[in-house]
Amino acid sequence: MTLETAFERRSLPLEYPFGIARGTTTETDVVFVRIGDAADDGLTGIGAAAPSAHYGETAATVEAVLPDLLAVVEDVGDPHQLERIERELRETVRRNPSARTAVSIALHDLVAKRLEEPLYRYWGLDPAETLETSYTIGLDDLETMREKTETALERGYGTLKVKLGTDRDLEIVRTIRSVAPDVRLFVDANEAWTPREAVSKIERLARFDLAFVEQPVPAEDPEGLRFVYEHSALPIAADESCVTLADIPRIADRCDIANLKLMKCGGLLEAKRMIHAARAHGLEVMYGCMTESDASIAAACHLAPLLDYADLDGSLLLADDPADGVPMPDGRIDLAGLERPGTGAVLESEFD
């Protein structure tokens, strides 16, 4: 079997400037990957990398390692050998997880297309066991955050995630709740608080009926995370503290929820292993994302039947996405409504 591979980098503008405690962005760099089977009616698998500099990756590093990663795919030749390929991808490139993830997504997309099945069915999952994704309100001035919240409600989103990590966090949540009194709401400090500050703030925030608090303290302070978990008035989710499979047992007694991301873990098989490991350690599981295209978000949506929470709004934050993926009416991940095989992702135009 002969596989043909290609990749292309694109900068995608965001609908609004997206602010978190570490800074604000107005666009995201995405590297799209294509893996085609010329001998099988020209079927093509699509994936994408959305690298994060916070984890030591950029679009440039993704472009630098993709030729080596795609050479592994071409050498193996059979896209169905997913375990072998992902193992060899890790052996070839130890870092750059989003680059490996892009290849993994494209391979899974191609394999499911060859079997003429959507990915969730290939995995044996029930499309009825799905979730509503949260929609993120990034940091901004209070009036802009109010306006973003009103827009989210008009679009039908019933779960909101609010970025915190400022000296006005209480005021931000009070403002959001005044606009959206009935939505399910959680907050994300992105490592911005000290342990004692976190406990104090969470105690004051608890009256706003929050579902949980995400990553209150720096990942480099595991004992600080334990302190917050043991003294928090609300459940705690670990994001930056939970990057790879090896992190699951390390956070198991420091949080209630593991927030996993494809762009952190390095592939879809590893993503499923992390979900099952988190369950084995008594943790609830959320799948999150970066600001991404539907070319990668679509793959994460197929994990929805295995999750407790979904934070898969990365493509919803874009001004324009060249890819289309799993339907998400009013934020609900509608796997049953997907009418295409594979991940369901399609690009508006192919690339060389």
Residue type at 290 in one-letter notation: M
pLDDT for 31 equals 98
Question: Over the stretch 309-343, which tens digit does the pLDDT of each residue have?
Answer: 999 999 999 999 999 999 999 999 999 999 999 99
Pairing assessment for the beta strands 210-214 and 184-188 based on DSSP bridges = parallel
3-state secondary structure of 73: helix
Check: CB of residue 320 under 8 Å from CB of residue 13: yes
Question: Over the stretch 155-169, which tens digit does the pLDDT of each residue have?
Answer: 999 999 999 999 999
3-state secondary structure of 330: helix
- Give the pair of three-digit tokens for residue 264: 């952190």
Please check the confidence at residue 5 and state whether its pLDDT lies above 70. yes
pLDDT for 13 equals 97
Distances (CA, A) of 254 to 7, 226, 240, 262, 282: 39, 4, 13, 22, 12
Please check the confidence at residue 16 and state whether its pLDDT lies above 90. yes
pLDDT for 149 equals 98
* Average pLDDT score over residue span 217-233: 98
Residues 6+ apart with CB under 8 A from 263: 49, 50, 51, 52, 55, 97, 98, 101, 289, 290, 292, 296
Residue type at 305 in one-letter notation: P
pLDDT for 2 equals 82
pLDDT for 352 equals 47
Across the chain, mean pLDDT equals 96
Please check the confidence at residue 351 and state whether its pLDDT lies above 60. no
Distance of CA 273 to the CA centre of its chain: 16
- Give 20-62 as a DSSP string: ETTEEEEEEEEEEEEEEETTTTTEEEEEEE---GGGT--HHHH
Burial 268-290 (b: 16+ CB within 10 A, else e): bbbbeebbebbeeeebbbbbbbb
Please check the confidence at residue 39 and state whether its pLDDT lies above 90. no
Residues of the chain with CATH 3.30.390.10: 3-117
Superfamily of domain 3-117: Enolase-like, N-terminal domain (3.30.390.10)
pLDDT for 248 equals 98
Question: Over the stretch 262-271, which tens digit does the pLDDT of each residue have?
Answer: 999 999 999 9
- Give the pair of three-digit tokens for residue 249: 């047992």
Q: How much of the chain, in percent, has pLDDT values that exceed 90?
A: 96
Distance CA 173, CA 137 (A): 11
Distance CA 302, CA 292 (A): 16
Question: Over the stretch 247-288, which tens digit does the pLDDT of each residue have?
Answer: 999 999 999 999 999 999 999 999 999 999 999 999 999 999
Query: The dihedral of CA 218, 286, 161, 104: what is its sign?
Result: positive
- Give 262-293 as a DSSP string: HHHH-SHHHHHHHHHHHHHTT-EEEEE--S--
Pick from 257, 311, 295: nearest CA to 106:
295
Give the domain 122-347 fold: TIM Barrel (3.20.20)
Question: Over the stretch 59-106, which tens digit does the pLDDT of each residue have?
Answer: 999 999 999 999 999 999 999 999 999 999 999 999 999 999 999 999
Phi, psi (degrees; rounded to nearest 5) at 114? -65, -30
Burial 164-184 (b: 16+ CB within 10 A, else e): bbeeebeebbebbbebbeebb
* Average pLDDT score over residue span 31-53: 90
pTM of the model: 0.96
Residues 6+ apart with CB under 8 A from 3: 35, 36, 37, 38, 73, 74, 77, 79
Residues of the chain with CATH 3.20.20.120: 122-347
Please check the confidence at residue 350 and state whether its pLDDT lies above 70. no
- pLDDT-based confidence at 348, cuts 50/70/90? confident
Burial of 231 (0-12, 13-18, 19+ CB in 10 A): middle
